[in-house]
Amino acid sequence: MNFELSAEDRAFRDQVRQFLKDNLSPDIVRRARTEVHPPNEEDRRWWNSVLNKQGWAAPSWPKEYGGTGWTPVQRHIFEMECRLAGAPELRWQGLRLIGPVICEFGSDAQKKRYLPPILEGTEQWAQGFSEPGAGSDLASLKTTALLDGEHYMVNGQKLWTTEAGYSELGFFLVRTDTTSKHGGISMLIIDMKSPGVTVRPIEMINGDISTYEVFLDNVRVPRENLIGEPGSAWTQTKFLLANERTSSADIDKAYGDLRRIRAIARHEKKNGRPLMEDPHFRLRLTRLTLEVEALDWSVLRVLSGAPSNYPRASASVLKIKGSQLQHRLTELAVDALGPRALRLYNRADAFAAEPSALWPEHTPGVMADHLYMRACTIYGGAMEVQKNIIAKQAFGL
């Protein structure tokens, strides 16, 4: 056992810090730190292209396709530094979800066509998995894609298709065979501008729109857009999720949240003194700080391939604790800000806000983030489903 960050990793961290300092502007940082969801799309596309010029857009990809060749710990350092510096969070769907799937399972033609624009940030992707009747029980999805000559004819409805309204492409789970449950599902790339694709926004309780319903009505999709063999999407989906074993801990956001809470608590007053000096508040903050640090070490253990008695449960453990902490962190941020958190900012106001004495820089986005984050124990596999997974995988229950 040796828990020291190597000299190489420390030098790497310094290099990342310098790069972030040289490339991020105060405006970009201010918008990112509101944590308004979804983040500002232009900022994200721009940051995607900046990272790509540096060769850092897709750390999780194999090196031959544009990955960085970093170790898992270095990727962790990179993401943490980006978040703490206030870099825009890049879109996940292309870089972290479908990109690695295309690298692993895609045809040469698919790799050539789709990977470069993901790296450049010029084509963004939507993830079409859930349906009205297929939430936690994803394999009961009903959208069909039936072969008609050289095209698939796609019909069905997708739900919770995050950021579909401004995505160029989508990867969709479709049923190419209605006789087999898991074995009948395929992954299909659909151009979101195809005739028959209708995207309808869903307004969320944070007052914003980040997710959509997608109606697929006789959409003709070229046969070559199917990834791998027909019926192999369940394997691809498991691969996709396995790639993201630690990211659902949201550990870099958690550290960002702690930073934000401290900033609020140093500024806000209680009984004429900074809230930070209030003993009860300090203990709440300290308690959360400890738990975030413990989770950070849990992430490091998984990334470092630490021996574990419960390897197949580790992703669910991280997801449960990470999402519970998101609830508590964003709650504490709201509590720290107090009744001023009740002001409803529309996103334009939140992003444009010039700090004033009454409404300082740390005000916008606090409540919106909290409201949006109620979803984090639901999306990506609800907490109760994660508990089922742990009971089975860790204990054989």
Partner 1 sequence: MDFNLSEEQRLLLDSASRYVRERCDLESRRQAVREADGFSRRHWQHFADQGWLALTLPEAAGGMGLGMADAIVLMEALGRGLICEPLIDSSILCGDLIAGAPEQGGLNALLADIGSGTALAALAHVELDGRSEFDTPVTCTAEPDGDGWRLQGTKHRVFYGSSASHLIVSAQVSGEMGYSLFVVAAGADGITLDNFPLIDGTRAADIHFDQVPVSAPARLYNGQAAAKAMDRALNRAIVAASAAALGSMEAVMDMTADYLKTRQQYGKPLSSFQALTHRMADILVETEQARSMLYAALAALDQDDSTEQNRQVSAAKALIAQAGMWVTGQGIQLHGGIGVTEEYAVGHHYKALQVYHLRFGDSDFHLERCARLIDTGAMPGH
Determine, following the binding rule CB under 8 A, whether residue 396 of this chain makes contact with partner 1: yes
| Binding piece for partner 1, criterion CB under 8 A, among 175-183, 186-194, 209-217, 285-293 | 285-293
Q: Looking at beta carbons only, is 4 or 150 nearer to partner 1?
A: 4
Residue 11 touching partner 1 (CB under 8 A): no
Question: Residue 304 corresponds to which tokens in the numbers above?
Answer: 């470092």
Residue 3 identity (one-letter amino acid): F
- Sequence-distant (≥ 6) Cβ neighbours of residue 107 within 8 angstroms: 224
Q: Tell me the site size for partner 1, rule CB under 8 A.
A: 55
Distance, CA of 289 to CA of 385 (rounded, Å): 27
Our finding on whether 287 is near partner 1 (CB under 8 A) is yes
388 binds partner 1 (CB under 8 A): yes
**Contact pattern for partner 1 over residues 62 through 101, marking x by CB under 8 A:** -----------x------x---x-----------------
261: tokens are 């809470």
Under the criterion CB under 8 A, does residue 390 sit at the interface with partner 1?
yes
Residue 7: is it exposed, middle or buried by C-beta count within 10 angstroms (0-12/13-18/19+)? exposed
d(Cα 133, Cα 140) in Å, to the nearest integer? 7
Location of structure tokens 């444009």: 352
CA 294 to chain centre: 21
Q: Which residues contact 233 (CB under 8 A, 6 or more apart)?
A: 173, 174, 185, 186, 187, 227
- Interacting span for partner 1 (CB under 8 A) from 42-50, 130-138, 198-206, 389-397: 389-397
Q: Does 282 bind partner 1 (CB under 8 A)?
A: yes
Q: Which residues are catalytically annotated?
A: 244
Q: Does 391 bind partner 1 (CB under 8 A)?
A: yes
Residue 321 is a binding residue for partner 1 (CB under 8 A): yes
- For residue 114, which of 55, 187, 168 has the smallest C-alpha distance? 168
Taking CB under 8 A as the binding criterion, the range among 33-41, 121-129, 234-242, 286-294 that sits at the site for partner 1 is 286-294
Residue type, 240: L
CA distance 245 to 234: 17
- Interface with partner 1 by CB under 8 A: which range of 155-163, 165-173, 297-305, 345-353? 297-305
- In the complex, which residues of this chain contact partner 1 (CB under 8 A)? 1-6, 73, 80, 84, 255-256, 258-259, 262, 276, 279, 282-283, 285-287, 289-298, 300-301, 304-307, 309-310, 313-314, 316-317, 320-321, 384, 386-388, 390-391, 394-397
